[in-house]
């Protein structure tokens, strides 16, 4: 079982499956995991239990500020820029064979939201995407064409 799958089941067992809510569990999952993880949990939760996690949180925390905060985290995690930042991270982590994927991502996204991706990448991984890409180019001679 992956960490995402475990969180999905835990959130079900600590929420809809019981009377009341295991609030500490919800707060832990939403605040301690990175945004990519939270979004993966949200997607898998809906696939597995047929209800959006946003609906579950809204119901379990009805009328309380904590519910609004958790829903905000869900929405932020769902942001497209985060998704593409994650894809960049995967491409860079596998540099060499993945440079074609990275280039394709760059071309497809650069005219729309590369600025948002750079910001998201910085927020998630605490390092500049530009710095990471420059390092990759310097270390990988086959990636030199990105400079031209």
Instruction: List residues binding Ca ion (CB under 5 A).
Output: 21
Cβ within 8 Å of residue 3, ≥6 positions away: 37
Q: Are 42 and 78 in contact (CB under 8 A)?
A: yes
CB of 51 to Ca ion, least distance (A): 12
Least distance (Å) between residue 18 CB and Ca ion: 5
Residue closest to 109 by CA, chosen among 85, 90, 132, 89 = 85
Comparison of 21 and 77: residue with beta carbon closer to Ca ion: 21
Q: Tokens in use for 111?
A: 């005219």
Structure tokens at 57: 């949180």
Question: Which is closer to Ca ion, CB of 18 or CB of 139?
Answer: 18
Tell me how far, at minimum, the Cβ of 14 lies from Ca ion, in Å: 8
- Give whichever of 30 and 121 is closer to Ca ion, judged by the CB atom: 30
């Amino acid at each position: 079982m992956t960490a995402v799958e475990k969180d999905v089941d835990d959130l079900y067992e600590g929420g809809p499956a019981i009377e009341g809510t295991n609030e500490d569990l919800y707060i832990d999952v939403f605040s301690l995991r990175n945004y990519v993880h939270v979004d993966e949990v949200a997607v898998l939760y809906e696939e597995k239990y047929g209800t959006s996690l946003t609906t579950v949180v809204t119901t379990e925390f009805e009328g309380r500020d904590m519910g609004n905060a958790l829903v905000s985290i869900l929405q932020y995690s769902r942001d497209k820029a985060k998704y593409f930042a994650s894809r960049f991270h995967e491409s860079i982590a596998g540099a060499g064979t993945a440079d074609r994927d990275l280039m394709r991502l760059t071309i497809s996204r650069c005219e729309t939201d590369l600025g948002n991706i750079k910001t998201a990448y910085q927020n998630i991984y605490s390092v500049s995407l530009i710095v990471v890409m420059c390092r990759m180019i310097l270390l990988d001679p086959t990636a030199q064409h990105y400079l031209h």
